[in-house]
């Protein structure tokens, strides 16, 4: 199975500052035939279902603000929030979907400092 | 808006069964892979099972293989999860999820979830 490990487990950032969350896969999620990384990022707020932010490692989903960006390839990935807003307080998950079982990282809790 | 709505959760005794249903609306359900994902209290997201668009292919996590069965009825725009031999560790909120239902190549439509509690 692909093991997804996020760091840190929790993070406190001041409003307007940059937040960075890392995700490492135990195996490459890059599919050579189409050069796509099968890596997505989700945001989950209390009492709500998860929301897709980023897919193919760096493509923002429909309606996602451009302060959210994804980068990386192969086994190492990063989600960056360029200027933290109060509404960004949530738990963030990375996910690989190149192979079953589809697996998620353990989650990173983002709070306001 | 596109929507998924789960039902069928509740309190069940260990060893019991439940059948979850998920009704899709305002997107092309019959063209999408569909999945079930759960989140236990205080824990993270766990993928359980997926089914392809016509229902001919299914995948399961080891934790539920042999106990849970995913199925779909495209004529009714409905996804199902039959859960047998339930255990305390199956207690969680269960979400149905569409892959690509909103033209994003990932889990881009999520239901609100239905709570399953397994306890005597």
Average per-residue pLDDT in chain A?
97
8 Å CB contact between A38 and A98? yes
H-helix or E-strand spanning residue A34: none
The partner residues of B82 in beta bridges, in order of sequence, read B19, B69
The alpha carbon of residue A77 is apart from the nearest alpha carbon of chain B, in Å, by: 16
Instruction: Tokens for B30, please give them.
Output: 């019959």
Contact A95/B106, CB-based, under 8 Å? yes
Instruction: Give the pLDDT score at B102.
Output: 87
- Nearest CB partner across the interface for B104, out of A44, A61, A106: A61
8 Å CB contact between A63 and B1? no
DSSP A76: E
8 Å CB contact between A53 and A8? no
Question: In this predicted model, what pLDDT tens digit does every residue of B7-23 receive, in sequence order?
Answer: 999 999 999 999 999 99
Question: In this predicted model, what pLDDT tens digit does every residue of A31-83 receive, in sequence order?
Answer: 999 999 999 999 999 999 999 999 999 999 999 999 999 999 999 999 999 99
Average per-residue pLDDT in chain B?
97
Question: In this predicted model, what pLDDT tens digit does every residue of B91-115 receive, in sequence order?
Answer: 999 999 999 988 889 999 999 999 9
User: Which residues on chain A are in Cβ contact (under 8 Å) with B101?
Assistant: none
Mean pLDDT (whole number) for B25-54: 97
- Scan for tokens 């603000």, then name that residue: A65
């Amino acid at each position: 199975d692909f093991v997804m490990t996020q760091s840190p487990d929790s993070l406190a950032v001041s409003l307007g500052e940059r937040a960075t969350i890392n995700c490492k896969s135990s195996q490459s999620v890059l599919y050579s035939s189409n050069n796509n990384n099968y890596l997505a990022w989700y945001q989950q707020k209390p009492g709500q279902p998860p929301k897709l932010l980023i897919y193919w490692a760096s493509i923002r989903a429909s309606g996602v603000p451009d302060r959210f960006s994804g980068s990386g390839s192969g086994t190492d990935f990063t989600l960056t929030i360029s200027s933290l807003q109060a509404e960004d307080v949530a738990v963030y998950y990375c996910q690989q979907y190149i192979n079953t079982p589809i697996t998620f990282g353990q989650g990173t809790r983002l709070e306001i400092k | 808006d596109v929507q998924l709505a789960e039902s069928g959760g509740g309190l069940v005794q260990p060893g019991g069964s439940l059948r979850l249903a998920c009704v899709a609306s305002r997107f092309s359900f019959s063209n999408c892979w569909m999945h079930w994902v759960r989140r236990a209290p205080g824990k993270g997201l766990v993928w359980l099972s997926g089914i392809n668009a016509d229902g001919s292919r299914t995948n399961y996590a080891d934790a539920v293989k042999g106990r849970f069965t995913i199925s779909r009825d495209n004529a009714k725009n409905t996804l199902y999860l039959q859960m047998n031999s339930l255990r305390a560790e199956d207690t969680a909120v269960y979400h149905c999820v569409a892959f690509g239902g909103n033209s994003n190549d990932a889990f881009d439509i999520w239901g609100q979830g239905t709570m399953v509690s397994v306890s005597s």
